[in-house]
Amino acid sequence: MLTFILMIIYLAFISLGLPDSLLGSAWPIMRVDLQMPFSAAGIISMIITGSTIISSFLSGKIIKRFGTGKVTSISVLMTAISLFGFSFSISFYWICLLAILLGLGAGAVDSGLNNFVALHYKAKHMSWLHCFWGIGATAGPLIMSLFLAAENGWRKGYLLIASIQFVLVFILFLTLPIWRNFEINTKEDLENNNINNAKKSLFSMPIVKVTLVSFFCYCAIEMTTGLWGSSYLVDTKDISADVAAKWVSLFYLGVTVGRLFAGFISMKINPYTLIRLGEVTIMVGIILFILPFNPTICMVGFILVGLGCAPIFPCMLHDTPNKVGKNFSQSMMGIQMAFAYMGSTLMPPIFGVLATIIDTSIFPVYIFILLIVMVVCVEKTNKLLKGEQK
CA angle 210-274-5, nearest 5°? 90
Mean pLDDT of 334-361: 88
Burial environment of residue 194 by CB neighbours within 10 A (0 to 12, 13 to 18, 19 or more): exposed
**Alpha carbons 307 and 255: distance in angstroms, whole number:** 5
CATH code matching the domain that covers 11-185, chosen among 1.20.1250.20, 1.10.10.60, 1.10.3210.10, 3.30.360.10: 1.20.1250.20
For 164, half-sphere exposure in the C-beta direction (CA atoms, 13 angstrom radius) is: 18
Confidence band for 216, pLDDT divided at 50, 70 and 90: very high
Q: Start-end ranges of CATH 1.20.1250.20 in the chain?
A: 11-185, 202-385
Tens of pLDDT, residues 171-209? 989 988 888 776 655 554 444 444 344 335 777 788 899
pLDDT of residue 100: 95
Please, are residues 36 and 92 in contact by the beta-carbon 8 Å criterion?
yes
pLDDT given at position 389:
57
Question: Model-level pTM greater than 0.75?
Answer: yes
State pLDDT tens for residues 15-70: 888 887 788 778 878 888 888 887 788 788 888 888 998 988 888 788 888 888 88
Query: What pLDDT does 170 receive?
Result: 93
- Please list, in sequence order, all residues whose beta carbon lies within 8 angstroms of the beta carbon of residue 268, skipping any fewer than 6 positions away: none
**172-to-20, 111, 168, 275, 380 alpha-carbon distances in Å:** 20, 16, 6, 33, 39
Residue 192: predicted pLDDT: 44
Superfamily of domain covering 202-385:
MFS general substrate transporter like domains (1.20.1250.20)
